[in-house]
Amino acid sequence: MTEVYGMFTSKSKAKAELESVVKAYMLCPKLLGLEKASGACFSSQLGRCKGACIGRESAEAYNARVDLALKRTRIEHWPFKTPVALSTGSDDMVVVNNWIIEGYLRSSEGSDPVFDTVEPRFDLDTYRILRGFVTKHKYGLAVKPVTDEMLAQYR
């Protein structure tokens, strides 16, 4: 799975975070697209970059520091092999896959549940809430694996 880093609410917040990790980890602003230069970056000339931009530091060493710097902003991998239905105690369940709500299984008296789909989209706030529920099983949350075949019967 591809790693996803840095879900920010604005471009300026993303840039500020990137500038912060550049300083904290002595990363190259040129290699991270924050500076345009034909040779060494300005930070390298000041001793604030270890020289990856001019080959003084190996790509492996530099990339390891980049991975370490970005780790705190990484979106967690989805911990399940399938979508799951999350129940908080009622008969209705939220169907989630890869931190994205796909729809709701709603119960109705005397008939089979109905699957109401929603437009799937990633939302940072929803991710944070779901991650807390799923990874910590807060509030008596029940997690049930769901397959496409199971959902098809409710559509």
pLDDT in tens, 51-98: 999 999 999 999 999 999 988 888 888 888 888 888 756 778 888 988
- Examine residue 78 and state whether it is found in any structural domain, yes or no: no
Please identify which residue in the block is written with the tokens 């940072």: 124
- Examine residue 44 and state whether it is found in any structural domain, yes or no: yes
pLDDT at 29: 94
35 shares its domain with 69 = yes
Identify the domain boundary among 73, 100, 122: 73
pLDDT at 115: 81
111 shares its domain with 55 = no
For 111, the domain range is: 84-152
pLDDT at 133: 78
Q: What is the pTM of this model?
A: 0.65
Per-residue pLDDT reduced to its tens digit, 21-30: 999 999 999 9
- The total of structural domains in the chain comes to 2
99 shares its domain with 67 = no
59 shares its domain with 102 = no
